Structure 1
């Protein structure tokens, strides 16, 4: 028999997220070069069949990812994938998935950073300048 003093804490723990919703976003950071394809993943566990998933990009403000020919969302086995083809400078930033169950408060992923990487030629120059030479002669 458990002490009644523990019941309120356990009850609050069990109801912390709507409908047993859990969201994990990965990878935490993804490095891609210009022109490559970036795939971000958002895995969620939800008991309700009625849910929605949205992706947001965060730069100075949060913005919903607009539909475009370079960005698509694929959902399979309770995982939503944001696929960005031909990555460009304007794609850099933090990406968040939002999973919403019915009228409950949404649950957010932990975020994925898509940093901008300079072109390979620039990386070689910077590496050489810092005393580390990654280029072969």
Structure 2
């Protein structure tokens, strides 16, 4: 993890500790900047019902906090509060039937088919 420590500066903070403290720091510092971006890589590793992240999702918009959540699966790995608050999905190839069914339900069968047939590093964007 130390390989990224050199990225820290006045605009970028890298945390490897308590998620509540991280979310609270983001909230407290958000007023200092016009736009704020938080990236949760492999968000499923924080737990399905992480109240700290849920709090930031629910209230972050009041302080212009945008959140990017990265996950390998949309239906089984993403917490409900993440899925319900998502405005844009960026899909790479997905072949799992349960994931494709989720895409069909929230978009169309054509979109699910496009996602299933994507090539290496190809992607599609779905705006809700």
Higher helix share: 2
By relative contact order (CA 8 Å, sep 6+), the higher-ranking structure is: 1
Same fold, TM exceeding 0.5? no
Higher strand share: 1
Larger Rg: 1
The TM-score, its normalising length taken from structure 2, stands at 0.25
The TM-score, its normalising length taken from structure 1, stands at 0.24
